[in-house]
């Protein structure tokens, strides 16, 4: 059993806003964390990147708040704040001294309720430019920066909500209009599509009352939501994408479709990925980096998603002079062996110990704790997941891990994205 259990209290306001409070008086701060149930998976063709662009506009003023004032008013009270957009959600957050909690909620309610009053073409054009620079900085002008974009497109079929990246395309960003922003806000931003989590120096009663004061007046919106998609099966045959370019060394991404987030199958498959490639003592680390020395580093990770599929990947930086085909063959070989054998006791113990420490490290700060609580309140309906995750992981048996790998990590179901250093690619061509 995990000995640590954070207190959780929940309520839902009359307008549908779900509020979760976790009391913790160790620091005179409160983490305010909002998850809105809209991400790039809700975008329509020709409008990719819109959820994220919209998130930027949330800092450009609202009915009673001037452009930029959200940042300045909170920062001068000692708030650390930002927002992020991802496939499944958009997240707004600030950690404030306890005395600034009400100001933070007032500012959040103003923009979550009344953004459109302050929206201008000038703001849209400016933030469109800023987002383009974000895309150039993080993706276009970064070695391997577009690799994950290729992975999504390779692993998920055309038209699937996760086929396109959250950052979107330059053309679609250019096409965004003020009307789009209005329609997007009206369709997705409402209390009944949002979770508010407050963690820190307050009681549940104080948190609920403050939430009601500031968010209570916001009207519910009419939500038109489709059901989440059914589970996507593993790829039937391997998919390959090769990119030749200005990268320092060959890098492989061997990706797989996964079960949806937080299910026992997802946890079992994620343990398999850890054992094969994620741990510092993983099988591929031992084979490729320590023994064969055909890779300089190996990694393994999974991405929990909700719309019918998740993603897992094994990455390898190919050592100079080594053959990327051989590295890929070795990865497939180790996966096949793992599917045959399953994990041993020491491997399972390592995954649990490593996960427990990193999970408790994440929950150690009130802001990350609030973020995980919002995540599960919004997407899995179970904020108490923060308290049960490690035990759930520990309950998975070696047989379940092996069985999950046998479904989800079969080499013939892989999507391979290779970034190849130009010299070699030219020789190969």
Partner 1 sequence: MSQVTRPTVAPPAPWHFPAATTHDLPNGLHLVTYDVPGQYVVSVRLAVPVPLDSEPTLREGVGTIMARTLDEGTETCTAEEFARLLERKGVGYGAGVSDAGLSLDLDVVKGNLEPALDLLRQILTEPVFREAEVARHVRSRLAEIEQERSIGANRSMLEFVRTFYAPTDRSSRPTGGSPETVSTITRDDVAAHYRQHVTASGSTLVVAGDLGGLDVPALVDAALADWPSGPARARFIERSATHANHRSRVVLVDRPGAVQSDFLVGAPGPDRSAPGGWAPYPVLAYVLGGSPTARLDAVLREEKGYTYGTRSSFRPKRGGGSFLTFGSVRADVTAESIGIIVDILEGGRDGFSEKEVRAGVDYIAKTAPGRFATADAIADEAVGMAMDGRTTAFTTANLHDLVTVDRDRVTDAYERFTRLAGVGSGARGAGWTIVVVGDASQHREPLEALGLGEVTVVTDD
Q: Which of 11, 64, 169, 336 binds partner 1 (CB under 8 A)?
A: 64
Count, residues in the chain:
429
Query: Residues binding partner 1: what is the number (CB under 8 A)?
Result: 78
C-alpha closest to that of 111 among 248, 40, 215, 7: 215
Q: How far is the CB of 128 from partner 1 (least distance, A)?
A: 8
At closest approach, how far in Å is the CB of 118 from partner 1? Answer: 14
* Element (DSSP H or E) covering residue 4: none
Q: Which is nearer to partner 1, 165 or 310 (CB)?
A: 165
Site for partner 1 in 218-257 (CB under 8 A): 219, 246-249
Residue with smaller CB distance to partner 1, 26 or 237: 26
Residue of 11, 15, 84, 126 that binds partner 1 (CB under 8 A): 126
3-state secondary structure of 325: helix
29 touches partner 1 by CB under 8 A: yes
The string of DSSP codes covering 42-87 is GPPTT-TTHHHHHHHHTTS-BTTB-TTHHHHHHHTTT-EEEEEE-S
Let me know: does 97 contact 178? Beta carbons within 8 Å: no
Query: Among all chains, which residue has been given the structure tokens 């997802």?
Result: 266
- Among the listed ranges 62-70, 154-162, 226-234, 328-336, the one in contact with partner 1 (CB under 8 A) is 62-70
Residue placing its CB nearer to partner 1 in the complex, 147 or 155: 147
Does residue 134 belong to the site contacting partner 1 (CB under 8 A)?
Answer: yes
**Range 260-299, binding partner 1 (CB under 8 A):** 279-281, 285-286, 289-290, 293, 296-297
> With binding defined as CB under 8 A, does residue 180 bind partner 1?
no
99 sits near partner 1 (criterion: CB under 8 A): yes
> CB of 404: closest distance to partner 1 in angstroms?
21
Strand partners, 334: none
Rounded to the nearest 10 degrees, how much is the dihedral formed by the CA atoms of 20, 227, 90, 153? 140
Instruction: State how beta strands 90-97 and 194-200 pair.
Output: unpaired
- Those residues with Cβ within 8 angstroms of residue 372's Cβ, 6 or more apart along the chain or in another chain: 362, 363, 385, 386
295 to 334, contacts with partner 1 by CB under 8 A?
A: 296-297, 317, 319-320
Let me know if 257 is exposed, middle or buried by CB neighbors in 10 A (0-12, 13-18, 19+): buried
Query: Which part of the chain contacts partner 1 (CB under 8 A), choosing from 42-50, 69-77, 370-378, 393-401?
Result: 69-77
Does 62 bind partner 1 (CB under 8 A)? Our answer is no
Which tokens belong to 306? Answer: 């909700």
Which CB atom, from 67 or from 192, has the smaller least distance to partner 1? 67
Q: Least distance in Å: CB of 309 to partner 1?
A: 29
Q: Which is nearer to partner 1, 100 or 405 (CB)?
A: 100
DSSP state of 418: E
Q: Which two tokens stand for residue 59?
A: 């800092």
Window of 21-29, 236-244, 371-379, 400-408 that interacts with partner 1 by CB under 8 A: 21-29
How far, in Å, CA of 199 to CA of 95, rounded?
9
Instruction: Pick the closer one to partner 1 by CB: 256 or 338.
Output: 338
Q: Which stretch binds partner 1 (CB under 8 A): 177-185, 212-220, 381-389, 412-420?
A: 212-220
Specify the residue, 175 or 239, whose C-beta has the smaller distance to partner 1. 175
Q: In what order do the strands lie in the sheet with 295-303?
A: 239-245, 415-421, 251-258, 310-318, 295-303
- Cβ atoms of 215 and 112 closer than 8 Å: yes
Closest separation in Å from C-beta 224 to partner 1: 23
Q: Please identify, using beta-carbon distances, which residue of 50 and 256 lies nearer to partner 1.
A: 50
Which of 86, 85, 103, 81 is CA-nearest to residue 31? 81
Tokens coding 320: 């100079």
Least Å distance between CB 303 and partner 1? 21
**Angle CA(134)–CA(138)–CA(139) in degrees, nearest 5?**
110
For residues 338-377, which are near partner 1 according to CB under 8 A? Answer: 346, 349-350, 353-354, 356-358, 360-361, 364-367
CB distance 162 to 311 below 8 Å: yes
Classify the phi-psi angles of 21: left when phi > 0, otherwise alpha if psi is within -120 to 50, otherwise beta: beta
Rule CB under 8 A: choose which of 121, 141, 397, 412 binds partner 1: 141
**What whole-number distance in Å separates Cα of residue 162 and Cα of residue 364?**
31
Residue 54 makes contact with partner 1 by CB under 8 A: no
If one asks whether residue 5 binds partner 1 (CB under 8 A), the answer comes out as no
């Amino acid at each position: 059993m995990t000995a640590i259990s954070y207190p959780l209290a929940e309520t839902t306001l009359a307008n549908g806003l779900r509020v979760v409070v976790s009391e913790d008086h160790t620091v005179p701060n409160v983490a305010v964390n909002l998850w809105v149930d809209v991400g790039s998976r809700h975008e329509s063709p020709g409008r990719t990147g819109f959820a994220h662009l919209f998130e930027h506009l949330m800092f450009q003023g609202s009915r009673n708040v001037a452009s930029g004032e959200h940042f300045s008013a909170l920062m001068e009270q000692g708030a650390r704040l930002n927002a992020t957009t991802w496939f499944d959600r958009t997240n707004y957050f600030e950690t404030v001294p306890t005395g600034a909690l009400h100001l933070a909620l007032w500012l959040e309610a103003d923009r979550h309720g009344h953004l459109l009053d302050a929206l201008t073409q000038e703001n849209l054009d400016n933030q469109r430019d800023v987002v383009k620079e974000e895309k150039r900085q993080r993706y276009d002008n970064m070695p391997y920066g577009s690799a994950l974009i290729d992975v999504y497109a390779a692993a998920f079929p055309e038209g699937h909500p996760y086929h396109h990246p959250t950052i979107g395309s330059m053309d679609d960003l250019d096409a965004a209009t003020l009307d789009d922003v209005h329609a997007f806000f009206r369709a997705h931003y409402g209390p009944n599509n949002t979770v508010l989590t407050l963690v820190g120096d307050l009681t549940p009663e104080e948190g609920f009352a403050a939430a009601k004061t500031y968010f209570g007046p916001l009207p519910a919106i009419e939500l038109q939501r489709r059901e989440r998609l059914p589970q996507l099966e593993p790829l039937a045959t391997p998919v390959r994408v090769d990119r030749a370019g200005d990268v320092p060394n060959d890098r492989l991404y061997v990706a797989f479709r996964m079960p949806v987030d937080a299910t026992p199958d997802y946890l079992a498959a994620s343990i398999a990925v850890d054992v094969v490639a994620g741990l510092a003592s993983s099988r591929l680390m031992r084979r490729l980096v320590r023994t064969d020395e055909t890779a300089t580093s190996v990694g393994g990770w999974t991405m929990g998603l909700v719309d019918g599929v998740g993603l897992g990947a094994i990455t390898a930086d190919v050592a100079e002079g080594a053959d990327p085909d051989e590295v890929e063959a070795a990865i497939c070989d180790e996966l096949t062996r793992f599917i045959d054998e399953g994990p041993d006791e020491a491997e399972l113990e390592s995954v649990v110990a490593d996960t427990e420490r990193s999970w408790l490290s994440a929950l150690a700060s009130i802001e990350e704790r609030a973020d995980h609580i919002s995540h599960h309140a919004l997407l899995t309906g179970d904020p108490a997941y923060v308290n049960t995750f490690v035990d759930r992981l520990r309950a998975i048996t070696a047989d379940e891990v092996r069985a999950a790998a046998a479904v989800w990590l079969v080499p013939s179901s892989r999507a391979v994205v290779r970034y190849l250093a130009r010299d070699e690619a030219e020789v190969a061509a």
